[in-house]
């Protein structure tokens, strides 16, 4: 981020979690946890299969974290743009690819206890994964700028 060098340095004793960062991390983590549990029970109710429900919850958790990494970039109140960090985009895409490999590769599926998801399942898994960030955006109030 180009603006990083323009900011004043943090005071030597100031925590990187000052200014409400830890509250935002805990709140968003709770949103992700709740949505993951809901995804698990929804998948179990829909398919009646524990491995399927575990895979849906696992996928929801991973995708929600991959979405959250972009939320973290906006903690200081600025919007650097989604494509401003090509390395972050590459890391997120690589992680999403690894998730797909873990789910569809029989060897890794056995290790991680995952089962293949159908295309239609990815729609609701992705939808669940987006909910924490949508909630976070809806309930964002103007606050003091957060420094990290």
| Per-residue pLDDT at 100 | 96
| Per-residue pLDDT at 2 | 62
Assess whether pLDDT exceeds 90 at residue 139: no
Where in the chain are the domains? 18-137
N-to-C CA span, the chain: 13
Mean pLDDT of 24-32: 88
Assess whether pLDDT exceeds 50 at residue 148: no
H or E segment to which residue 141 belongs: none
| Per-residue pLDDT at 9 | 73
Highest mean pLDDT among 12-21, 61-70, 130-139: 61-70
**pTM of the predicted model as reported, rounded to 2 decimal places:** 0.79
């Amino acid at each position: 981020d180009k603006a990083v060098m323009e900011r004043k340095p943090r005071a030597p004793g100031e925590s990187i979690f000052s200014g409400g960062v830890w509250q935002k991390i805990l709140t968003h983590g709770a949103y992700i946890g709740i949505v993951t549990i809901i995804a698990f029970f929804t998948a179990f109710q829909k398919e009646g299969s524990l491995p399927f429900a575990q895979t849906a919850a696992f996928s929801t958790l991973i995708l929600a974290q991959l979405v959250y990494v972009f939320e973290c970039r906006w903690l200081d109140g600025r919007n650097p743009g989604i494509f401003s960090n090509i390395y972050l985009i590459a890391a997120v895409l690589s992680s999403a690819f690894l998730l797909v490999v873990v789910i569809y590769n029989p060897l890794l599926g056995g290790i991680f206890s995952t089962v293949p998801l159908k295309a239609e399942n990815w729609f609701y898994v992705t939808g669940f994964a987006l909910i924490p960030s949508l909630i976070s955006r809806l309930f964002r109030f103007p606050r003091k700028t957060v420094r990290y």
